Structure 1
Amino acid sequence: MDASGGSMHVLMLPWLAFGHILPFTELAKRIARQGHRVTLLSTPRNTRRLIRIPPDLADLVSVVDVKLPRVERLPEDAEASIDLPSDDLRPYLRRAYDAAFAEELSDILQDAGPGRPDWVLIDYAAYWAPAAAARHGVPCACLSLFGAAALSVFGPPDALMGHGKYVRTKPEHLAGVPDYVPFPTAVAYRGFEARAFFNPAFVADGSGVSEAYRFGKCIQGSQLVGIRSSAEFEPEWLQVLGDLYQKPVIPVGLFPSPPTQDVGGHEATLHWLDRQAPGSVVYAAFGSEAKLTSAQLQTIALGLEASGLPFLWAFRPPVDADEVTAGLPEGFEERVNGRGLVCRGWVPQARFLAHGSIGAFLTHAGWSSITEGLARGVRLVLLPLMFDQGLNARLLVEKKVGVEVARDEEDGSFAPKDIAAALRRVVVEDEGEVFGDKVKELAVVFGNDEVNNRCVRDFLRCLSEYSRLLQG
């Protein structure tokens, strides 16, 4: 980068999950559109199936394929979390990622020529990256794809790394609002969520460290932290986070996927949507990470059926069965024929959500899906399943843009009537108008390209100013 703050070269290291690679790619394109160069690291299979760089940005965005080493128990072609038949295999994917990407980063940083990056922008998993960047005098920024509210509940970096006042040593430590949050809120884990989340997140796994440790180390070692959020949406939580981290916390915008995707053989589905009344259809999808069981999917199916509403379901087969029809009650597709569509395999989610007939989104409350739904002004029905999703759901209920499906407080189970009731509350009942008004307001924040690009410009300005300080 030149001393006047001209164009920069940003190296990006997303984690190997669809919900991480896609937003990093979208941000890479937005950074390139501001005239900066980007090098994006991923694996060959992920590059082929996920990363699309428009021809006009090809000179500014370089995609580097990093081959994963063979790791015991990791399936041959597993290059993203969606490829893993079981969550138990996640540590082995992390181990392969650590080995391959740490070496690639080191090779890139050792090149003292003009191609060396000015910044390394890392995802939570690359906990070894800040130290590697520091050894070569290159600053590092951590980009969180979680919102500020969820990150605030996780706590400061030392707690994530297993020490300090707010360390989480048992699930109950997650099941309440931390005392450093200075305002009333219900954003906390429920008991069943805390019990399910604690072990995979806060206990060291087969990769040698815990998920929380990775996050804490990334935040601690980075010069600043970018958050996939906006000051218009959660200003109070961004403030909490800045106080917790004691370093700049900068919203980088929401950058939802644009609804310009190729429909990939779903023309008939779009024609079906064209025939439905405006705002009448429920779109149901639960992301690429959650591995639902047959029992859970059957309950969701019966709930969609009982709601009486037209629906479009992006269906992924259950984790505990192989057959194509597994997870659907007997005769379900015949009974809902004409009123409901079950789409298997990949779907153009952003394209569906942008369709005028979609009125509600039954979602797992993953941050990427929330971003896409709110960008299109769609009301949310929330069925959180893992990770930060319970915290996101509480936040969205507080912001009055959706309702959460009622659950058993002890085990988190839900019944068809709970799904149906939540859907009807948002789509049919008078209360739905309140949600509709609120999501329209937020669509201006989430879906407005100029607002999102302004956030990206502000973030890049911070990077540039920090680089100038380093250069003296």
Structure 2
Amino acid sequence: MDARSSMHVVMLPWLAFGHILPFTELAKRIARQGHRVTLFSTPRNTRRLIRIPPELAEHIRVVDIALPRVERLPEDAEASIDLPSDDLRPHLHVAYDAAFAGKLSEILQEPYPGKPDWVVIDYAAHWAPAAAARHGVPCAFLSLFSAAVVVFYGPAEGLMGRGRYARVKPEQLTVVPDYVPFPTTVAYRGLEARESFTLVLAPDESGMSDGYRFGKCIAESQLVGIRSSAEFEPEWLQVVGGLYQKPVIPVGLFPPPPTQDIGGHKAALQWLDGQPRRSVVYAAFGSEAKLTSAQLQAIALGLEASGLPFLWAFRQPVDANEGESGLPEGFEERIDGRGLVCRGWVPQTRFLAHESVGGFLTHAGWNSIIEGLARGVRLVLLPLVFDQGLNARHLTEKKISVEVPRDDEDGSFAPKDIAAALRKVLVEEGCEVFGDKAEVLAVLFGNDEMNDQCVRDFLKCMLEYSRQHQGAL
């Protein structure tokens, strides 16, 4: 392939909203640089999530792949949000592996120009690098986690359960690894460590752990892209390259533009229009965490006790009985006029971009952090699962946000602590420091030119690698 030519890039996101959406956003940015993209998805996820602008339709092909029937997997489950409980995630992995590996094998055997020049993979596609290499095609692993998070989890060998940095018990996740050359608080706490060890590092019914999938993707890919920027976490990015012993490129933060259709939420936007600038708390907890009634009650009472206007993207608790609202009795009557509870899908980027929204009570998922900071919104973090505790430590030690404390044994949190954190960030004396930080970071996170330059740098590395290693795989 000539280094001046355009590429055909195949992209394989994992089946979670927080993975499909950023992969799609990156696909658009790659296409705008003149390259062709084939994006793997499933029919239901394409309908729900993937919107390709007409001007990019010739450059982006979305391939819908039907998942096979897998025991215990609900019939319409095509993303993690569709699973009634986390213990069904391994079954979604099994379906993903079978369907997506088969389709990748097909496309790798297509004659030029259908055959890809690169395959860009998410953590779950551990089989992709070897399959691509058999056809002389290189792979790039795209981390949708920050550099701080991937540094904490360590080298590929350790993620696969081998060598000095293998974590074999939860307590090892509560200490900063000795290869981090600077002081930091980025580590899990007790309950987080126990949950993350089970969810990430312990083998599941798919036959391997998520950590093993991560490690294999990193070890066998030719390049690694990190959804981050050198301006935001240079110290962590410097460590990643040494850990992985291969090129690591920050691909930018690429927040989605606030152009979503508002669906049935016109009234909510009109309500926001009537609120003072930067006064409203937007509360949302992502698509992965499955909150209980007790947790949602605490959040509701915390929002109420804060005295601040708020808009809450509410999802039913996993343990609610049919007909139950999941909210404290009389809550919506008490907060009438001051707070809004929006059910079902909400246009999050539209809400965060509204000038009346000043604070974001969030689970500290990397997607939501990026979306909030790109719009200059102050953050209050309530981490729940996966990388979220690490993100919360990272941002809090940078004095970007405030974290709501949780009980280290049972993970509970108190309404008064939610209220106190929100007031500290938005209205109490000294809150201006959080506003100043948010404004500075909005210039960085929301800078389209910087984000596009990171994508160009990533593509340049891919082109250069292909030129130097033509036929070597």
With normalisation by structure 2, the TM-score equals 0.98
Task: Find out whether 1:121 has 2:106 as its counterpart.
Answer: no
Per-residue deviation, 1:200: 1.7
SS in 1 for 2:297: helix
Alignment check: 8 A CA contact 1:294 1:326 kept: no
For 1:61, the aligned partner's letter is: I
Contact map agreement 1:74 1:92 (CA 8 A) in 2: yes
What's the offset of the Cα at 1:280?
0.7
Alignment of 1:9-48 (within 5 A): 9-48=8-47
Partner deviation per Cα, 1:324-366 (whole Å, 9 max, x = no partner): 6432100000000000000000100000000111111000000
Tell me which residue corresponds to 1:95.
94
Contact 1:95–1:207 (8 Å) recurs in 2: yes
Which residue of structure 2 lines up, in the alignment, with residue 80 of structure 1? Answer: 79
Q: Which residue of 1 aligns with 2:171?
A: 172
CA distance in 1, matches of 2:150, 2:430: 30
Deviates more, 1:315-324 or 1:161-170: 315-324
- Which residue number corresponds to residue 412 of structure 1? 411
The SS at the match of 1:85 is coil
The equivalent residue for 1:225 is 224
Deviations, residues 149-183 of structure 1 (Å, cap 9, x unaligned): 01111110000001010100000010011110000
Q: Give how far 1:4 is off.
A: 3.5
1:382-436 per-residue CA deviation (whole Å, 9 max, x = no partner) reads 0000000000001111121110002223332111001000000000112211011
Partner of 2:256: 257
Residue 47 of structure 1, CA deviation: 0.8
| Structure 1 counterpart SS, 2:350 | helix
1:39-438 equivalences under 5 Å are 39-323=38-322, 325-438=324-437
SS of residue matched to 1:431: coil
Which range moved further: 110-119 or 38-47? 110-119
Q: Measure the CA separation in 2 of the matches of 1:426 and 1:227.
A: 29
The Cα offsets for residues 240-262 of structure 1, whole Å up to 9 and x where unpaired, read as 11111111111101111110111
* 1-structure distance, mates of 2:388, 2:196: 10
In structure 2, distance between residues paired with 1:265 and 1:254: 29
Structure 2 residues without counterparts, runs of 5 or longer: none
Aligned residue-pair number: 471
- In structure 1, the residue corresponding to 2:316 is in which secondary structure? coil
Give the corresponding residue for 2:6: 7
Return the letter of the residue paired with 2:229. S
Give the conservation status (yes or no) of the 8 Å contact 1:317–1:324. Answer: no
Query: Can you list the C-alpha shifts for 1:124-161, whole angstroms capped at 9, x where unaligned?
Result: 00000010011111000000100000111111000000
Shift of 1:323: 3.9
Counterpart AA for 2:308: L
Q: Report SS of the residue matched to 2:431.
A: helix
C-alpha distance 247-239 of structure 1, shift in aligned 2 (>3 A): same
CA distance in 2: counterparts of 1:291 and 1:15, whole angstroms: 18
Counterpart secondary structure, 2:37: strand
How many Å apart are 1:113 and its aligned residue?
2.6
Instruction: Name the CA shift for 1:325/1:449 in 2 (closer, same or farther; >3 Å).
Output: farther
Gapped regions of structure 1 (runs ≥ 5): none
